[in-house]
Structure 1
Amino acid sequence: MLTSVFRKQLLSLLCVLLVGFTLIALVLNFALQDFLVKQKEALLFREGEQLNELLLEGLSADPSNQKTIYNNADSRLKRTLNIRTNLLLIDESAGVNKKRLEKRLLKQSEIKDPALLSQVLKGGRVTQIGPFTYSDDTVLLSVGMPVIEKDKVIGALFLHTPVQEIQMGKVTRLIIFTAYLIAIPFSLLVFVLSKRMTGPLLRMNRAAKRLGNGDFTVRVPVESRDEVSQLADTFNQMAEQLEQLDRMRKELIANVSHELRTPLTSVRGFAQGLMEGVIPEEQHHRYHQIIYAELFRLTSLLNTMLDLSAIETGRVNMEMKAIRWSSLVHTVSESLAPRIEKKELDVEIVEPEDEILKAYGDPERLKQVLFNLLDNAIRHSESGGKITIQSYYEQDSLVVKVSDTGSGIDPSKLPYIWERFYTEDDSRHTHRERSGLGLTITKQLLELMKGSIEVDSVLEKGTTFTIRIPTPPET
C-alpha cells in the first residue's frame, strides 16, 4: 500500500514516465512505419516504371520478345527484391500479343478491389496495403500504374511486396527496447529527485511528532526557497511561537502562584494567631483590618485576571459612545486624591481653554485605562513629585499624555512592560499591591477601542505614556 508521500510521488512519476515513453515509442513506431512504407512504395513505382519501359520497348521493337523481356524482368524483381508483378491488358490493346503473355496476365475478376483497376485505367497511380486478389490472402503493399502506348492506356501494371518485408515488427521492437533502455536512468533520476523533494516533509513529520510530545525547541533546516522550504520556515515560526507561549504559560503559572501565595500566607498566619490567642485582644481589630486588606488585594488580583481573560477571549462588550473627556479626567483624579495627597504630589491637568475635548469609546473602560496610568504614575513618583495629564486633538484622535517625574524605566526593558506580570523590579520600587497586569490590560482595552498606547522614559527623570483615542464620528 502507498503509505508515504515518497512512495506516492515516486509511483506517480514512474507512471508518467512509463506512459510518456510508451507514447513516444508509439509515435516513433508509426512515423518510422510510414517512412518505410513510403520508401518501399517509391521503390515499387521506380521498378514499375522501368518494367513499363522495357515492355513498351519490346512492343515497338519485336512483339515476339514481349514474353522474354517481361519474364526476365519479373524474375529479377522476384529474386532480388521479392517483388511480384501482375499485368492486365484491355481488349483494345494494340501491338500486344496477349496470347504470348496469357500466363502472366491478370483477369479483372480476380482483383479484390475493382476501384483500383478503374483508377489505373483512367491514367492514375494507386497504392494499397492488404490482400490484392481473391485467391491470395497475403497482406501486400501494392502499387499500380497504367501501361500507355501512343498516349493511350492499353493496360495496368501492378507490383506487390509482402508487408512483412518492410520489417515493421523489428522496428517496433527496436523502438520499444530503446525507449525502455533510456527509461532506466530516468527512473533512477526520478527516484533521487523524489527522495530529495520528500526529505523535508519527512523531517517535518518527525519534528511535528516531537512538537506534539512537548519538545518546542525542535526546528527544521531550511535548505532552499521553494514551496516545501517555505512550509519548513512556517513550521519553524510556529514552533518558535509555541515555545514562547509555553514559556509564558510557565511564567504565568509561577507568577500567579506567587501572587496568590503571598496574601494567602498572610491571611492564614494572622487567622491562626487570632485563633490560638497569640495576638493580644487589643490588637485583634488591627489584624482583622490586615486580613481584610489582604483578601481585598486577592480579590482585586483575581478580578484583574478575569478581566484579562475576558479581553483575550473576546468576551468583553464595548459600549462605544461619545464622552466628555474633561469630566472623565476629573472623576478619575478625584478617586485617587487620597493617595495623591498622601504622597504630596502635584497633579496638573492641561487642556485647551477654548475647546471641549471629546473621546469615542466605552466610558467605563476608558476610566479603567486612565486609572491604571495614574495609579502607575503615583506608585513610581517620589513624594513631592509632579504628575501631568495633557490632552489635545491631533488629526482624528484625542491624544492624552500622562507624565510623571519618577525614577523612569530602563530603555532595554521598555518592550517588556506590556507583558503579563512584568513588574520591572530593577528600576522601580516594587509595591506589594502590584499585579503586573495593569499595563497589559490597558494596552488591550485601547486596541479594542481602535486606540493605541506608547511609552517614553528616561532613567531618574520620569516616564510619559501617550494614548490615542478615536474621536466621535461627528467631531
Structure 2
Amino acid sequence: MMTSMFRKMLMAYMSVIIVAFSVLTFALHFEVRHFLAAQKLLVLNQEAEDILPILERVNGNPKFYPAYDRIVSRYKRVDNTAVNLLLIKNSELVKIQRLTNQLISHNAILNRTAVERVLSGQQVQLIGPFSTSQRQSTLIVGVPIESEGIIIGALFLHTPMQELQMGQVTELILLIAGPILLLSIIVLYFTSRRFSTPLLQMNRAVQAIGKGSFTERVPVTSDDEVGQLAGAFNEMAVQLERLDHMRKDLIANVSHEIRTPLTSVRGFIQGILEGVIPASDQRQYLTIAHSELSRLSSILNSMLDLSAIETGRITIQSGPVQWAGVVEAVTERTRVRATSKGLDFEVSNTDPSLTIWGDGDRLTQILFNVVDNAIRHTSAGKISISSAVADGKLRITVRDTGEGIATEALPHIWERFYTGSPSRSSGEARSGLGLTITKHLVEMMNGKIEVESKLGSGSLFTIWFPIFSTV
C-alpha cells in the first residue's frame, strides 16, 4: 500500500519530470523547426543558383527554355519548390509566352521591402506569406536576375512550411521521449519507495513502541540520511528498552524497599498498641521503626531529587566551602556502617585550608553517595578517601576493594534506575538513583566524575572540582 509520503514524493517527481519533458519537447520542436528551415533555405539558394544561369541563357535565346522548364519541374516535383519571376518591362523574358504562368507583379507580392532589396541587387531569405493568393507560411528565397550587368528582374523560389514535415519530427520526438519518460517514472517509483519504506517502517515501530513493545527495530539498508535516521531510531529504541527494564526494576526495588520498612513499622506500632510488646522493649522497637522510616525517607528523597534535577527545579546555593569539613561530615555518617561490615576506613591528604566554590549541602550529598555506594558493594577490605590538588583542581578519589563493576556495565552506571547485573547482590537497598543524582550535581557545579573498575577488583571513583582558594 502506498503511503501518503510515497504518493507525495512520486507525484512531485513525476510532475517535475513531465513538465521538464514537455518544455524539452517544445524547445526541441522549435529548434528542429528552425534547423530544418535553415537547411531548406540553403537548398532553395542552391536551386536559385542552378536556375539563374539557365534563365539568363533563356533571356538571350528562347531555345534554352526546355532546359529551364526541366529543372523547374524537377524542383517542383522533388522539393515542391515554386518559381516566380518578377520582370522589368524592357526584359526579353517578358516576350516568352511559356513563362506567363510564372510571372508575378509587384502588387501580388506581399513583402514589398523584399522586392525592393532584390531589385537593388541583394539576395533575400524570409519566412512568411509570399503573395496575396498564398497566405500560408512559406520559405522564400529571392535573387536578382541580371543581363549584361543590368538587373532585369527578380527570381523568387518558395515552398510551404508544411514541407518541413514537422508532424513527423514531433512524432519522432514523442517516440523518443515517451519510453524515456516511462523509464523515468519507473525509476522514480522505486526510488520513492526506497526512501518512503524506512519511514513507513519507523512509523509502525513508533506506534508499536507507543503501545509498550520496545523490541521493534527498523532495518538499516543504506548509509545515507535515511539509513542514519533508521540507525539513530534503533539506538533510541535500545535506550527506551533499557530504560523500560530499569523502570520495571525500579518499581520492583522501590516497592520492596518501601513495603519492607512500612511492614516493620506497622507491625511494631501494632504490637505496642495491642500490648504484645512489653513496655520495657518498646523503646528498642521504636528505635528500629525510626531507622526504617529514615531509610524510607532516603529513598523518597532520592526520587524527589532526581525529579527536581530533570525538571530544572533544583537550586544550587554556591559559595566558598572548606573541603575538609565536607569530608569530616561524610566520614562521621558512614564510618559506623563501614566498621559494622568489618571494613577499614581510611581518610588521607585532606588540606584543612582547601576551599572550593559550590553548595556545601550538595557537595556533602555527592561525597556521601559515592562513599555509600563503595560501602554497599564492599564486603571485605577497606574504603579510602583521598583529597589532593592536581592540575590546578581538587581531585577526590574514593577507592574500595569490593566486587567491582563489569566493563560492559561501566557506561550505564550513571543511568537512572540502573542497579547493575543480578550478580551484584550486595543485599543492600538500591534504587539505582544515587550515582545518577551524583553525576548531575557534580556537573551542575562545573565538576567532573570518572570511574575505573574491574569485576572482582574493586572500584576507583575520581571527582574533580575547581579550586576557589587555598588560603
TM range (shorter): 0.7 to 0.9
Given that 1:320 and 1:361 are in contact with CA atoms closer than 8 Å, whether structure 2 keeps it comes out as: yes
C-alpha distance in 2, partners of 1:225/1:315? 41
Q: Deviations over 1:28-73 (max 9, x none)?
A: 322332232233222222222222111212334x3x5476665555
Distance 1:67 1:461 in 2: 122
Matched residue type, 2:366: V
CA displacement, residues 173-228 of structure 1 (integer Å, 9 cap, x when unaligned):
33223322443333333323333332222222222221222111000111121221
**Is 1:364 the counterpart of 2:371 in the alignment?**
no
Distance in 2 between residues matched to 1:314 and 1:4, nearest whole Å = 39
Task: State the distance in 1 between where 2:378 and 2:71 align.
Answer: 127
Change (3 A) 1:418 1:30: closer
Q: What is residue 390 of structure 2 aligned with on the other side?
A: 394
Summarize the Cα distance change of 1:368–1:143 in structure 2 as closer, same or farther, 3 Å threshold.
same
Alpha-carbon deviation of 1:122? 2.1
Residues 284, 409 of structure 1: alpha-carbon distance in 2 compared, 3 angstrom cutoff: same
- Take 1:461 and 1:81, find their aligned partners in 2: how far apart are those partners? 102
Q: Secondary structure at the match of 1:217?
A: coil
Aligned residue for 2:163?
165
Contact 1:358 1:398 in 2 (8 A): no
Distance 1:76 1:382 in 2: 118
Whether the 8 Å contact between 1:325 and 1:359 is mirrored in structure 2 is yes
Alignment-derived partner of residue 23 in structure 1: 23
The aligned residue for residue 404 of structure 2 is 409
Greater Cα shift, 412-421 or 193-202: 412-421
> Is the counterpart of residue 282 in structure 1 residue 280 in structure 2?
yes
AA matched with 2:258: L
Structure-1 separation of matches of 2:37 and 2:408: 88
SS at match of 1:154: strand
Counterpart in 2 of 1:297? 295
Q: Which residue of 2 aligns with 1:82?
A: 80
Task: Specify the SS of the correspondent of 1:134.
Answer: coil
Rounded Cα–Cα distance in structure 2 between residues aligned with 1:437 and 1:97: 117
Give the distance between the partners of 1:414 and 1:89, measured in 2 at CA.
108
- The equivalent residue for 1:4 is 4
What is aligned with 1:468? 464
Q: Which residue of 2 aligns with 1:204?
A: 202
Q: Which amino acid aligns with 1:448?
A: M
The alignment yields a C-alpha RMSD, in angstroms, of: 3.3
CA displacement, residues 127-172 of structure 1 (integer Å, 9 cap, x when unaligned):
2222212233233222100112233322111112222222222322
SS at match of 1:33: helix
Partner of 2:43 in structure 1?
43
Separation in 1 of the partners of 2:194 and 2:48?
62
CA contact (8 A) 2:407 2:454 kept: no
- The answer to whether the 8 A contact 2:250-2:432 is kept is no
Choose the corresponding residue for 1:98, options 94, 111, 121: 94
1:98 aligned counterpart, secondary structure: helix
- Does residue 32 in structure 1 map to residue 29 in structure 2? no
Could you say if the C-alpha distance between residues 342 and 140 of structure 1 is closer, same or farther in structure 2, counting changes exceeding 3 Å?
Answer: closer
Residue pairs, 1:223-238, within 5 angstroms? 223-238=221-236
* Letter in structure 2 aligned against 1:256: V
Q: Give runs of aligned pairs for residues 146-295 of structure 1, distance below 5 A.
A: 146-295=144-293
Q: 1:98 to 1:199 in 2, by over 3 A?
A: same
Q: Percent identity?
A: 44
| 1:403 CA displacement | 3.8
State how 1:57-68 maps to structure 2 within 5 Å. 57-60=57-60, 62=61, 64-65=62-63
Alignment partner, residue 442 of structure 1: 438
Per the alignment, residue 351 of structure 1 pairs with 349
Cα distance in structure 2, aligned partners of 1:242 and 1:459 = 26
Distance 2:300 2:378 in 1: 26
Gaps of 5+ in 2: none
Measured after TM superposition, the shift of residue 263 of structure 1 is: 0.4
- Corresponding position of 2:107: 109
**Counterpart of 1:161 in 2: which secondary structure?**
strand
Q: Contact conserved, 2:383 with 2:399, CA < 8 A, in 1?
A: yes
**Structure-1 separation of matches of 2:175 and 2:421:** 79
Aligned-partner Cα distance in 2 for 1:435–1:192: 51
**Structure 1 unmatched runs, 5+:** none
> Within 2, Cα distance between the matches of 1:200 and 1:346?
58
Aligned residues: 466
